[in-house]
Structure 1
Amino acid sequence: MAGGAADPEAELPAFGQFRDSNAQRPYGDGRGSLGELRAREFGRLAGTVYLDHAGATLFPKSQLENFTRDLMENVYGNPHSQNISSKLTHDTVEQVRYRVLAHFGTTADDYSVVFTAGSTAALKLVAEAFPWVSRGPQSSGSRFCYLTDSHTSVVGMRKVTAAMGVSATPVRPEDLWSAEDPGAAASDPDCRLPHLFCYPAQSNFSGARYPLAWVADVQSGRRRPASAPGTWFVLLDAASFVSTSPLSLAAHPADFVPISFYKIFGFPTGLGALLVSNRVAPLLRKTYFGGGTAAAYLAGEDFYIPRPSVAERFEDGTISFLDVIALKHGFDALERLTGGMENIRQHTFTLARYTYAALASLRYPNGAPVVRIYSDSEFSSPEEQGPVINLNVLDDNGNVLGYSQVDKMASLYNIHLRTGCFCNTGACQRHLGISNEMVRKNLEAGHVCGDDIDLVDGQPTGSVRISFGYMSTLEDAQAFLRFIIDTRLCSAGGQPVPQACAALEAGAPAAEAECSRGLSSREGALTDAGVWTESSSAVPAGAVPPPLREATGTQQTPSEKAVGVRDGDLGPHVVTNLYLYPIKSCAAFEVTRWPVGNQGLLYDRSWMVVNHNGICLSQKQEPRLCLIQPFIDLQQKIMVIKAQGMEPIEVPLEENGERAQICQSKVCAARVNTYDCGEKISSWLSKFFGRPCHLIKQSSNFQRNAKKKHGQDQCPGTTATLSLVNEAQYLLVNTSSVSELHQQLNASDQNGKGELFPMKDLILRFRANIITNGTKAFEEEKWDEISIGSLRFQVLGPCHRCQMICIDQQTGQRNQDVFQTLSESRKRKVNFGVYLMQTSLDSSSPCFLSVGSQVLPVWKENGGCHNIPASKKHQDVVS
């Protein structure tokens, strides 16, 4: 259902229930409030609002410490050996099995625990081992039925059953058993055909909780998901449900229950289990056998005797025994810190209910809802709804804002959430109204699961999901609400529309009272405006901005030529500024004339800074990268690197083949060969950032080809090669486009304090190579090709901007206004600037790009690849 016109005052008792339930059930171990628990166990969350617990919850500090201490104090060997350390491992693992069963309200008399690589592996195991009967002349065969609101890993079981000649039947929640006569089961003839019905205890899409009573109903024959005589078995997908709720298998004895432990404990990852009813276990069939599963076998002939227990038969090879031992410490921490799963259920549900009520009440001044909530419940009971809220943000005309845009904005508030379809296409289609044909159409448009193509023809391809865990606080919920209000319901002066804040403001006194009852906010983390402050590593306001120099060595004020250009100034299209960025994500190096190579401007993005694991750092993780100032001296063949408080350091432009340490890295999922620039510069960077860093350079003998993107084919015979850029060889920005954004940003300066965002600072935020003037705003997005002097470029398409445009390139400090304003003005797509690919390069003589060169565009309506007449070519001009 969509969020209705809920009365904020009427819905706010949900917050009171939160307070009351927390008081009745002391949360934690009695050593302090939830705020103190957060500080003690989850200090790494300071300044962060983590709302993706349905994706992966977080482990407490003490859990990891106790596990590490266990490993340091004991010797755990391979459980398949017979020595003392192996016996210790075997016994500990068996004890953990008992602990798992006890957690789910059962014992080894009724269930067995088969450890797997996760819930997906557990589901695959059932698909392969279930005693299916294929269709044949004398039998209709087994049936595999699954709820359409199921995880991909459940739906994927149908590929296994299809290979076995077994029919698969998807069942929509709203149609379940609507045509079935509950009394028909008793009249069915005695038939031993085994059928399997799979459904989730909790939807990982919407958090809807399906009745656990369905387990017994289907098993007993009172209800059936399809008209098929025989014996029905039930697989209860509990992976999402058990992360925040208790499950008693004594009360609801499902035949198969797959789980993932990181959903419950946060650690270890990659470990799950299949809980198998012992009455069903003998029916399971095994084709493959691995180490440890055989009681006896012959290598020379087909003779194999499996071990007797279901766990020993299905745990092929050596299990991840150290991770299994870690589970013991997960259970210990969960019980010690929370008092049990029932407390977690009440705590997380009430947070979700409070947030739901506030979101549902938010309205634009015209009465339109701010969000559309996808839910099958009114969040009235934890039996019907889990701590998950799925939504899309709307504009005041009811149009959906793409989830990728919301995700980028949330990251500016340091809010971590989940977007997309969450590996649940069935629920996504049902709630968002996406037909099968639309799915196919979206695929043809380039959209695949997990990407950031959030709108196709104005229709959403996915949504936004927030979810709570046991360490979530009221402040987390309110930070998300403030984020929605700040980004959707703020007036030009930056103040929230009063009516929009009714729910949040009405709850404020109660929130303050609750702080003393175990829900205190993290000290110093939240400002009055609801924006998370920077960490202690934030750049001081007085940091020296990076100077930008010409290739000739003379100093130049960046972008002065571009200031003041307006739509009406329709002079010739001219290059006003040229920038290269020798070190990826570091400061710009401005030039007036620069050589062009096969990968773009010579030495543009040839180096990058990586962390101790070899992962490329960007300003998203480390904003202070923009304070690293590289200067290239082509004559001396060196790059000089400067930063405030550091002595300048030199790096050679080319590697020394005898000393270079070759390594492999990734840029935008593409593999690149690089070499390490040495310990001297590594120490310099590590000192500046306060953590281990290295400088690496793309190897000169490595070629990385550009991917075809943006729906355009390259001209025949052209294959662009890339440096360490993300998308294309060049990025062009039009000053008229910047000027329009400049006016919008500074329109709110009602106090006459001057420019909030100076034009030259805005230009630097977009980190373009080529700056032009003499065009209308965003006219560049209509170009197909351009020529600059003797060089030709194909326009590949717009640059989809990320959060980096919110970082002031002279101070390293963030301000979300740039992204938000651009988002609003560009109508749901944050595009700015266009990508260029070089289509002609005369290798017989050096080529240069120069400031002052005329830019000649070819418009899209003229077709694809064009030959620009020689009369339109101009020589490079040096200003």
Structure 2
Amino acid sequence: MAVERGPEPPAFQHHPEASAPRLAQGYRLRSTSELRDLEFSRLAGTVYLDHAGATLFPQRQLTNFTKDLMENVYGNPHSQNITSKLTHDTVEQVRYRILTHFHTTPEDYIVIFTSGSTAALRLVAEAFPWVSQAPENGGSHFCYLTDNHTSVVGMRKVAAAMNVTSIPVKPEDMWSAEDRGAGACDPDCQLPHLFCYPAQSNFSGTRYPLSWIEEVKSGRRSPVNVPGRWFVLLDAASYVSTSPLDLSAHQPDFVPISFYKIFGLPTGLGALLVSKHVAPLLRKGYFGGGTAAAYLAGDDFYIPRPSVAERFEDGTISFLDIIALKHGFDALEYLTGGMENIQRHTFALAQYTHSALSSLSYPNGAPVVRIYSDSEFSSPDVQGPIINFNVLDDGGNIIGYSQVDKMASLYNIYLRTGCFCNLGACQRHLGLSDEMVKKHFQAGHVCGDDVDIIDGRPTGSVRVSFGYMSTLEDAQAFLRFISAIYLRSPADQPDLQAGTSGAGALSLESDCHSPQEGARADPADRSEACPDADTVDLYLSPSEGSGSRQALPEKAAGILNGDLGSHIVTNIYLYPIKSCAAFEVTKWPVGSKGLLYDRSWMIVNHNGVCLSQKQEPRLCLIQPFIDLQQRIMVIKAKGMDPIEVPLEENSERAQIHQSRVCADRVNTYDCGENISRWLSQFFGRPCHLIKQSPDFQRNARKTPGKGQPPGTAATLSLVNEAQYLLVNTSSVLELQQRLNASDEHGKEESFSVKDLVSRFRANIITKGARPFEEEEWDEVSVGSLHFQVVGPCHRCQMICIDQQTGQRNQDVFQKLSESRGRKVNFGVYLMHESLDLSSPRFLSVGSEVLPVLKECGVS
């Protein structure tokens, strides 16, 4: 999505420190733009800046690998037939290719295939010849730089189990360790110690000197002053993704790598490169298939294979993935000319971006970002193509990384946030003490979540990183995004009063969605909540003054006047199919999981993965309608004939499938080939409609609280968080004012209240409260129903999607972010307390709303 506001980033060529952002001249592709068009067309319209997390594979690699598999038969390399011999020989060729890539030979290094660099690190921890502490010696020491990946730090648990001392070493201490010496030691002292450090920090991109390898091994630079022999593990996983590593010039004892960091494909495959001088010292404990030359099942007799690689490669290696590496090397060399060209290209982009990002400032002179780096991006010898930072407001306060991530996604910019499995570097750069980290955990923050600010302090940061297929346009799109979002003029930020009360403030539109206008899908209530035919009949029986059975609900009254006045329900929506359009009603049955049939179905792709509007905005154009009397759901979409789906299937005939909703496992069944063909035709790709199994119970993580007996859990349909979502009309009005007040140039669209309400996809719309007063509620009664408020709804990018057209406009999220502070909250979740469903219960438009404030009485 094009960014229209904010200053243009400087032209690349105007930065004399940056070299041309192109790969080797004279190679088959003239520019990275041509490379992108031919090999990475799937990136069209997106800016991918997480190459340090995983780079991307080119079309050439996938095509040639597939062709290889189609033309050859590769058998298990542990067999002796011709297909197995082909596999064995091909794998050995790949081993040679790996060693050649790192400028070494089989005479100096051994390649042991693992499932990744983490498995390689664990292998070293378990096989290293540790000497336990004893009265007669100090034992071995395991030292690691604090700027190391979690997988390195985790080695200390293995060391501790062997009674080995682990010592974290700060980067500044290692820099000053030169000539400190390794302590007194007689010539026969061979007490083994291990020092681990990264060639490149995956947090900041800092590149630590490869000269440390020989300095540590020789004793000229020692992590700690102890006698013994030092071995060095160089964690090269991040470094080798964009730079050449010459093992003929620098010879660490162990080098763990992950191949997807280099090629993008395959994942789940890495290697440990072991110096041949060290290999005989490694100790083997467990042995698996293929590692034994001979053994007995009934006696403790085991002879390992003489080959070090075969000795440590337990079980059958991932031989097809190893064959994919051959095509990865071929494609990389063909497209780029080698790692030296990749290093120049990626560093030039990082240097340019760093320079431009550093120069951004607010009108008051305050910087827009705070960059975490140990270098000035002067050379690829000291800095990799990684930029780590936090965005600041004009007062110098950090804007949480999760908010930056959400905003970036609106512009199709994909980056990385958090601490990047490198807490040591995160603490050092962000100034987080050990006590703070523990306090953050006690406050509920865990690695990988979106809790980005606690007590005003950041828990992580934002990282962008470049790969060989990154372009100057990627860097400039990112810089344009930062400028557009955070460098708005004061005129763009209206200073509105907190309230919108008072007669004639802003009246809401009186028109509304008719019952024929929409639906949203989520599996129906199980057992009681997703009733069988008898239960539906119960709901259809005359009740609450109704003199006849209700088929399709009558047209809703619409959104009422914006005056505070009486506190009542103005609209009720359910979303039968998750992420699809709303179905508006005036009166609707309530089940144990919420509104009857609310989010009872969902649409999944060919892999069974649930689709949402974040991936497929056109879901909002699918309009379901529930007919309780005929027990059908009618689904409509423009250009498609309507199709009917029964509300209930014969559960005995339905085949149960495992699906996931918000990390929860749910049992579902497929609604049939007819609706599958209908959906597949509409979306242009294979899709299925599935429904929550009626006998499956999904318990809510959020608890209804004091209204429930101990041990009672509320049950959910296919909703994300809670049974109901309530939105207050006055809150919508305030947001509408902010959005429409930013239309100073007359170019931005005006937002109606009806449009905004539909974006928030609530079940219950109320009027009569002050803006955002609902966040102060603890409980609320609606008519005869009583609910517990279980917290605010943290909004995502879906609110940027126009529910009538499927088009996206990022202003809604941005203005909400500006007005609500650092957390984009809107609406509150409700859970009903224990319900007696022996008689029908209904939620109705016009019902009185009675909230109870937190730790207060009835408001």
Q: TM-score, normalised by structure 1?
A: 0.88
| Aligned partner of 2:709 among 697, 703, 716 | 716
Cα 1:491–1:28 shift into 2, 3 Å? farther
Matched residue, 2:303: 305
Are the aligned partners of 1:546 and 1:587 in contact in 2 as well (CA < 8 Å)?
Answer: no
Distance 2:86 2:470 in 1: 37
State percent identity of aligned pairs: 75
- Aligned-partner SS, 1:861: coil
Residue pair 1:177, 1:225 contacting (<8 A) in 2 also: no
Q: Paired residue for 2:219?
A: 221
Q: Distance in 2 between matches of 1:164 and 1:28?
A: 55
Match of 2:517 among 536, 547, 560: 547
Give the counterpart letter for 2:426 in structure 1: C
Name the counterpart of 1:670: 664
Distance in structure 1 (CA, Å) of the matches to 2:458 and 2:706: 26
SS at match of 1:697: strand
Alpha-carbon offset, residue 13 of structure 1: 6.6
CA RMSD after TM alignment: 2.3
Indicate whether 1:730 and 2:724 are aligned. yes
Instruction: Select which of 633, 636, 641 maps to 1:642.
Output: 636
Match of 2:686 among 686, 689, 692: 692
**How far apart, in 2, do the equivalents of 1:754 and 1:323 lie?**
50
Name structure 1 gaps, 5 residues minimum. 1-7, 496-543, 873-879
Q: In structure 2, what is the equivalent of residue 600 of structure 1?
A: 594
1:356-375 equivalence runs, <5 A: 356-375=354-373
Tell me how far apart the structure 2 counterparts of residues 554 and 755 of structure 1 sit (CA, whole Å).
33
The counterpart of 1:293, out of the listed 291, 299, 308, is 291
Distance 1:551 1:254, change over 3 A: farther
Distance 1:545 1:68, change over 3 A: farther
Distance 1:677 1:326 in 2: 38
User: Structure 1 residues 408, 754: CA separation in 2 closer, same or farther (over 3 Å shift)?
Assistant: closer
**In 2, Cα distance between equivalents of 1:420 and 1:432:** 12
1:607 Cα deviation after fit: 0.4
Distance 1:473 1:660, change over 3 A: same
Structure 1 distance, partners of 2:748, 2:219, is 75
1:804 aligns with 2:803: no
Aligned equivalent of 1:131, options 119, 129, 132: 129
Q: Deviations over 1:679-699 (max 9, x none)?
A: 111111111101111111111
Q: Taking structure 1 as reference, are residues 160 and 630 closer, same or farther at Cα in structure 2, changes over 3 Å only?
A: same
For structure 1, which segment, 286-295 or 114-123, has the greater mean C-alpha deviation from structure 2 after superposition? Answer: 286-295
CA contact (8 A) 2:256 2:272 kept: yes
Using the alignment, how far apart are the partners of 1:792 and 1:828 within structure 2? Answer: 31
Offset at 1:73? 1.1
Matched, 1:822 2:792: no
- The match for 1:832 is 826
Native 8 Å contact 1:551 1:592 kept in 2: no
CA distance in 2, matches of 1:545, 1:108: 73
Instruction: Return closer, same or farther for 1:855/1:381 CA change in 2, 3 Å cut-off.
Output: same
484 and 817 in structure 1: CA distance in 2 versus 1, 3 angstrom threshold: same
| Residue aligned with 1:684, SS | helix
Q: TM-score, normalised by structure 2?
A: 0.90
Within 5 Å, which residues of 2 pair with 1:307-326? 307-326=305-324
Tell me the residue number matched to 2:752. Answer: 758
Per the alignment, residue 587 of structure 1 pairs with 581
Q: Which amino acid aligns with 2:306?
A: P
Q: What's 1:401 paired with?
A: 399
The answer to whether the Cα contact below 8 Å between 2:182 and 2:222 also exists between their aligned partners in 1 is no
Aligned equivalents of 2:64, 2:11: Cα separation in 1: 42
Local SS of the residue matching 1:733: strand
Kept after mapping to 2: 8 A contact 1:548/1:555:
no
Which residue pairs with 1:540 in the alignment?
none
Q: Distance in 1 between matches of 2:658 and 2:350?
A: 44
Matching residue of 2:505: none
Contact 1:41 1:61 in 2 (8 A): yes
Taking the aligned partners of 1:182 and 1:146, their CA distance within structure 2 comes to 17
SS at match of 1:239: coil
1:3 alignment partner in structure 2: none
Secondary structure at the residue paired with 2:720? coil
- The total of aligned residue pairs comes to 803
Note the C-alpha offset of 1:10: 11
Q: CA deviation at 1:551?
A: 7.3
- Post-superposition offset of 1:570: 3.1
Q: CA deviation at 1:338?
A: 0.3
Structure 1 residue 255 displacement after superposition:
0.1
Pick aligned residue for 1:104 from 84, 98, 102: 102
Residues 36 and 179 (structure 1 numbering): CA distance in 2 closer, same or farther, change over 3 Å? Answer: closer
Paired residues for 1:151-300 under 5 Å = 151-176=149-174, 178=176, 181-183=179-181, 190-300=188-298
SS in 1 for 2:833: strand
Query: How far does residue 81 in structure 1 lie from its aligned partner after superposition?
Result: 1.0
State the Cα deviation string for residues 169-190 of structure 1 (Å, max 9, x = none).
0001012263674356576664
- 1:118 Cα deviation (Å)? 0.2
Shift of 1:217: 0.3
1:403/1:454 contact within 8 Å kept? yes
Q: Is 1:123–1:154's contact at 8 Å kept on the other side of the alignment?
A: yes
Deviations 1:314-336 (A, max 9, x none): 00111001111111110011100
CA distance in 2, matches of 1:620, 1:11: 33
Q: Which residue of the partner structure matches residue 522 of structure 1? A: none
Instruction: Look up the SS of the partner of 2:399 in the other structure.
Output: coil
CA contact (8 A) 1:15 1:350 kept: no
Q: Secondary structure at the match of 1:97?
A: helix
Change in Cα spacing, 1:709 to 1:638, as seen in structure 2 (3 Å) is: same
Q: CA contact under 8 A between 1:492 and 1:748: conserved in structure 2?
A: no
Residue 775 of structure 1 pairs with residue 774 of structure 2: no
Structure 2 CA distance for partners of 1:55 and 1:179, relative to 1, 3 Å = closer
Task: Name the SS of the counterpart of 1:702 in structure 2.
Answer: coil
Structure 2 counterpart of 1:860, from 826, 832, 854? 854
Secondary structure at the aligned position of 1:727 is classed as coil
Q: Output the CA distance in 2 between the equivalents of 1:861 and 1:337.
A: 65
Note the C-alpha offset of 1:18.
Answer: 3.9
